[in-house]
Amino acid sequence: MPPSIEFYCPCLASTPHPPPPHLASSSYSFHPLHNLFFCEECDAIRCNRCVMVEVSGYYCPNCLFEVPSASVRAEKNRCARNCFMCPNCRNTLTVVPSDPPDTGAAIVNTVGEPPFFLYCNHCRWDSAEVGITFEKPTGLAAQLQKYEDSAPESLEFERLKEHYEPHLRASPSTGPAAPHSHHTHTNPITAAASSALARDIPGVGKYTPHSSSVGRNRSSRNKGNYNEVPDYRARVEIGSSNFTMGGGGETDVDLMKHLEDMSEIATLEQRWENSWMTSLQTGDLKPLRIPLHSKKSKRCPSCRHILIKPEQKAQSVRYKIKLVAANYLPAITVSLPHLYAVLAAMRKPGKTPQLSDIESTMHAGKTYSFQLSFTNPLYDPIQVRLHVQRSLPSSSMAEDGGGPSEKRRPPFSVTLPSSAFPIAAYAEAWEYEDDEEMFGVEEDDFDGGGGGRGGGREQGRGRTKTIGILERRANVTVIGGEVAISKEARGNIKFNMLVSYTYRSDDSEPSEEQSTPSRAQVQNREPEMKTFSFYTAIDLGTIIPREEHKSDAMEY
C-alpha cells in the first residue's frame, strides 16, 4: 500500500475532532478528497453519508431510456422496453427467434420465426426452459409485467394500497422534511407505515428512525387519524399451502429433503433481484425486467442548499451545480522519498520496479522523512498551517502490541514545520502547460536549486533538508516532515493532521458575500481573510517490527 491521505467529515461525530486514526471505526469518518462535497453556505465539508439525496431522473441502464417519473411507478421501477436480465447470471438477455424451418430457405423473414424467446449469451440460459415464449419480438416487457403483477404478493400489495389510499389522501400532507432532519425519505406513506408498525408490534417503536423529535411530533400529531382506519383483512393467509414456495414452509422443507444437487436451489443473489418472494428452485427462475437506475441530486443536510445537481440528460456527465470539496480544499498527496530511492536503485541493474516489493520499508527504531504536496485549487494564494493531532497512548495499540511498557510511549512521533507556509494561486494557464520544463522555471528561486524532477532530486534534497518547504512551483508546495518510529513500534504509521488555511474570500467566491455577516467569527484582522480548518488522516504504511519481535511473533 502506498502512503495515503483521507479527509475528515465531522458528520458522524459530536465533536469537531476526529477519532484516533487507528480505531477501526475512524475509517467511516475519513474519505478520499474527491468523494467529498463542500457547502458554501455552512462553510463545511459534506460527505456521501450525510448529504440528502434526491432522485432527479430515472433511466434504464441497458437501453439508456430516460423514464418519466410518472411511468416509473406504473412500470414498477423496471424497464418497460425490451431490457431483461438473466435470472441465472444477471447478464442482459437478447430476444432470439426460433430456428427457421429447414424446407423454406427462400422466405427471408426479417425478424425471424416465432416463437421468440429470451436467451443469455453468457450462461446460455433461455426462457424456453421455464416455458416463457413470445409470439412477437416486441412488447415483451408488458407481457412479463402482467405475469409479475399476478403474483399473490403483488395483488396483496395493491389491495393494501387501495385500502389505505383514501386515508392517506385525507390526512394532511406532512410537507417537506424539517430542515434539520436527516431522513430524506419522509413522505406520508413511509411515515404511515412506520407508525403503523410501531403501533402494532411492541418494541419496534424505539428502533424506527422516526424516534427523533421530528418523527415523534409527526406521529403523535397523526396518531388520532390512524386509529380511524378500518382493519385490513388479508386476502391470502400467510403460511397457507398454495403460497409457501420459498416462504420457508412445509413445501420448502419437502423440497430440501429430496434435494440431490446443490444447483437446483437458486442462490440468494439470484432470488434477490426479484420484487417478490419466489420459488427456491433454479428451474423456476424467470427473466427479470431490468431495474432502473437514477440520477441523484444532493443537498447539504443542514441548510438544504444543493451541492450536486446533474444535467437532465441521463448519460451526460456534466452538472448544473457541483460543489465538490476538491474545488475548495487544497489537495494533498503523501510520498515517501526513500521509496523512490529504493525504486531508483532497483531500476539501475535493469530490473523493472515492482510496487509490491517496496510495500513496507519502514523499520522500527528508525527515522524517515516524508513529503506532503499541497495543491491549491483557489484563484488566490493561501497560507497553510499544519498541526499533528497527538495520538493518545492508546488502548488498541497496546492491545495488539502486548507489553505494558508500550502503553506509555506513542509508537512514533511526527515532526512537521509548525510555521505557516504559502501556496500560490491556481491559474488556468498552468493547465495548458504540457511541457514539464515550464513547471520548474516559475518559482524555482524560492528555495534554490530546481534540479531535475524525479527520484534523483528527491534523494538529494532529502539529505540536505527534510523538514520545511522543499519545493514551490505553480500552485503546488511540497512540505517535508519526519517520522521517528520507536523501537517497540508495530502496526501502521497513521496519524491525524489538522490543516488550517487562510484565504482571501472577496473575488474568488462571490456567492459568499451575502453570508459574510453570519461568519464574522472566522474573519480576522482584514475583512477578507478567512480561515478554514479540516482534519486529515495520513497513513504512511506498515512498520516492520524489529527482528527479535518478529521471531517472538513466530513462536506464538
Partner 1 sequence: MQPPIYYSKAEYIETDTGNKVSRRATIAGPQNIILGGKTIISSGAIIRGDLRRTGPGHAVVISLGRYCLVGESCVMRPPYKTYRGNFNYYPMKIGDHVHIGANTIVEAAQIGNHVEIGRNCVIGKFTIIKDCAKIADNTFVPPNTVIPALSLFAGSPGHFVEDLPESTQEMVEAMAKQYYTRFQPDPNEPTPAPRR
- To partner 1, the closest distance from the beta carbon of 270 in angstroms equals 12
Name the residue among 531, 471, 527 with its Cα closest to residue 501: 531
By DSSP bridging, strand 331-335 and strand 367-375 are antiparallel
Residue 196 or residue 343: which is nearer to partner 1 going by CB? 343
Q: Strand ranges (DSSP E) for 64-176?
A: 66-67, 84-85, 93-98, 113-120
User: Rg of the chain's alpha carbons, rounded to an integer?
Assistant: 31
Region at 90 (left for phi over 0; alpha for psi -120 to 50; beta for the rest): left
Region at 402 (left for phi over 0; alpha for psi -120 to 50; beta for the rest): left
Residue 151 or residue 341: which is nearer to partner 1 going by CB? 341
Enter the C-alpha cell of residue 50: 450525510
Could you count the other beta carbons within 10 Å of the beta carbon of residue 188?
A: 18
- To partner 1, the closest distance from the beta carbon of 50 in angstroms equals 15
- To partner 1, the closest distance from the beta carbon of 335 in angstroms equals 5
Enter the C-alpha cell of residue 322: 457541483
Residue 90 or residue 546: which is nearer to partner 1 going by CB? 90
Given a contact cutoff of 8 angstroms between Cβ atoms, the answer to whether 243 and 152 are in contact is yes
- To partner 1, the closest distance from the beta carbon of 404 in angstroms equals 40
- To partner 1, the closest distance from the beta carbon of 330 in angstroms equals 14
- To partner 1, the closest distance from the beta carbon of 554 in angstroms equals 33
For residue 67, how far is the Cα from the chain centroid? 25
Binding site for partner 1 (CB under 8 A): 34-35, 59, 61-64, 89-92, 94, 108, 110, 121-123, 293, 296, 308, 314-317, 319, 322, 324, 326, 333, 335, 340, 343, 347-348, 371, 373, 434, 436, 452-455, 478
Residue 60 or residue 493: which is nearer to partner 1 going by CB? 60
Residue 231 or residue 436: which is nearer to partner 1 going by CB? 436
Residue 34 or residue 465: which is nearer to partner 1 going by CB? 34
- To partner 1, the closest distance from the beta carbon of 497 in angstroms equals 17
- To partner 1, the closest distance from the beta carbon of 340 in angstroms equals 5
Residue 46 or residue 530: which is nearer to partner 1 going by CB? 46
Q: Strand ranges (DSSP E) for 145-292?
A: 288-289
Residue 310 or residue 545: which is nearer to partner 1 going by CB? 310
Burial of residue 260 (number of CB atoms within 10 Å: 0-12, 13-18, 19+)? exposed
Q: Strand ranges (DSSP E) for 366-409?
A: 367-375, 382-388
Helix orientation angle between 213-228 and 188-200, rounded to the nearest 10 degrees: 80
